[in-house]
Amino acid sequence: MNIHEYQAREIFQAHGLPVPDSEVVDTPEGAADAARSLGGRVVIKAQVHAGGRGKAGGVKLAADPEEARDAAGLILGMEIKGLTVRKVLVAPTADIATEAYVGIVMDRVSQRPVMMVSPEGGVDIEEVAETNPEAIFKETIDPRYGLLNHQATRLAYRLFSDPSLARPAAGVLLGLWRAYRSADATLAEVNPLISTSSGEVLAIDAKMNIDDSALFRHPALEAMRDEDAEAPSERRAREAGLSYIKLEGSVGCCVNGAGLAMATMDLVKYYGGDPANFLDIGGSSNPEKVVCALEIMAGDPNVLSILFNIFGGITRCDDVANGIVEATSRLELRVPLTIRLTGTNEDEAVGILGVAGFEADTDMDRAVQRAVRAAGVQ
Ligand code: GDP
Ligand code: MN
């Protein structure tokens, strides 16, 4: 789960990071008031779940409350990467001398959190990784011991040679690790971590992703969920108990079980297609889930073909078949549907689908090829 900058700032502040005070408002007038109480010169920042707000015009400096009102007026309602800005953060303008990047991500290769820092902050870290990889420094964190003092110190000196800056920077790195760890985050990032001309180190941006699978033990974090900031299809899927991730391709895939879903996506690729989503209806046979899955895929304008691939075990093929019949009677499908099912109650399922005018295949290769062809890819 993604949270907003202002929420990540609160968490970072609670773990001792030097985050300047700020206010969150949803009107231009509110921004003017906030600027007044923060001392006049402020930065106005769009609160959306997207990076690169600066480049998109979602971060503006204002010299006084009137300018803050105007800047907020321009940013509120703006679209950034398809997301509408409904709130802005107002913070006192920082006097930037240098901008560094610091972040922790879960690294799949080492299966551990990795802390990364770069003195070339402010810009996209992906860009630095591509054009100037030797400017990124890393320490792998052993989860048994956490980020060790010497690791934090080593990284901090990669950012600042002056001990009066490196020492507080090491404190920032240790605090960032504590925030990451205690929130069960998958990402925690400050970009930029700045030094000011008066010699302070400040965290002036904050980003955090929380592991969805750990949210059950963090009700306070779960309460930070902003449903407005989620894609409507992802929200529907979550509420229906489906695992759904939207992708860019044209073949909608509805599968039971994450392993089969991955194998199906691989096979779609193998036969020249591109999956439009990962969608796992799980091990239950609830026809409502099938209805919801079909509606979500049918609602994606990129989807040109839909494939059901069901391996009946605990999930009964006849229940899925009933779900498909129910869903297609409720909504007009504008794209071809290919169905493959095998396993528990397969014969009943073929019968149910046949009565409703659908053909079901039991062969996975054949079904995937047909679905890819139906999307017009080959
Ligand atoms: P992002 O583009 O979404 O990552 O938003 P950031 O909060 O990182 O802001 C983008 C850029 O705006 C930063 O890298 C800074 O260069 C600039 N910026 C943000 N806040 C301030 C500020 O208080 N003072 C100054 N001078 N620049 C700022
Ligand atoms: Mn940033």
Poorest-pLDDT segment among 142-146, 235-239, 260-264: 235-239
pLDDT of residue 83: 85
Which two three-digit tokens encode residue 39?
């001392």
* 377 pLDDT above the threshold of 80: no
Work out the pLDDT band at 344, boundaries 50, 70, 90.
Answer: very high
Question: Reduced to 3 states, what is the DSSP secondary structure of residue 315?
Answer: coil
Residue 103 DSSP class: E
Nearest partner of 3 among 163, 150, 217, 189, judged by Cα: 189
Residues of the chain with CATH 3.40.50.261: 232-374
What does the pLDDT look like over 10-47, one tens digit per residue? 999 999 999 999 999 999 999 999 999 999 899 999 99
CATH of region 232-374, choose from 3.40.50.261, 1.10.8.870, 3.40.50.2300, 3.40.50.11810: 3.40.50.261
Residues of the chain with CATH 3.30.470.20: 96-222
* 285 pLDDT above the threshold of 70: no
Nearest partner of 54 among 63, 41, 44, judged by Cα: 44
Nearest partner of 373 among 281, 279, 293, 273, judged by Cα: 273
For the segment 254-279, the average pLDDT, to the nearest whole number, is 95
The preferred substitution site among 21, 43, 123 for testing ligand 1, maximizing ligand atoms within 8 Å of CB, is: 43
Look up the pTM and report it: 0.79
What does the pLDDT look like over 39-48, one tens digit per residue? 989 999 999 9
What does the pLDDT look like over 297-326, one tens digit per residue? 999 999 999 999 999 988 889 989 998 999
Mean of per-residue pLDDT scores for the chain: 94
Kindly give the distance from the C-alpha atom of residue 52 to the centroid of ligand 2, in angstroms, as a whole number: 7
For the segment 226-243, the average pLDDT, to the nearest whole number, is 84
* CATH class of domain segment(s) 21-92: alpha beta
Alpha helix stretches (DSSP H) within the chain: 5-14, 28-38, 65-75, 125-131, 149-159, 163-182, 219-222, 232-240, 258-270, 287-298, 317-330, 346-355, 364-374
Q: Which residues pair with 80 in a beta bridge?
A: 83
Please give the share of the chain, as a percent, with pLDDT higher than 70.
99
Ligand 1 contact, 59 CB (< 6 A): yes
Ligand 1 contact, 189 CB (< 6 A): no
Q: Which residues pair with 245 in a beta bridge?
A: 278
Ligand 1 contact, 158 CB (< 6 A): no
> β-pairing, 243-246 with 207-210?
unpaired
Q: In whole angstroms, give the CA distance from residue 190 to residue 16.
A: 14
> β-pairing, 112-118 with 185-196?
unpaired
Which two three-digit tokens encode residue 167?
């020492």
Please give the share of the chain, as a percent, with pLDDT higher than 90.
81
Residue 378 DSSP class: -
Kindly give the distance from the C-alpha atom of residue 46 to the centroid of ligand 2, in angstroms, as a whole number: 11
Instruction: From the CA of 53, give the closest atom in ligand 1.
Output: 3
Superfamily name and number for 96-222: ATP-grasp fold, B domain (3.30.470.20)
Ligand 1 contact, 345 CB (< 6 A): no
Residue type, 49: H
What does the pLDDT look like over 117-172, one tens digit per residue? 999 998 788 899 999 999 999 999 999 999 999 999 999 999 999 999 999 999 99
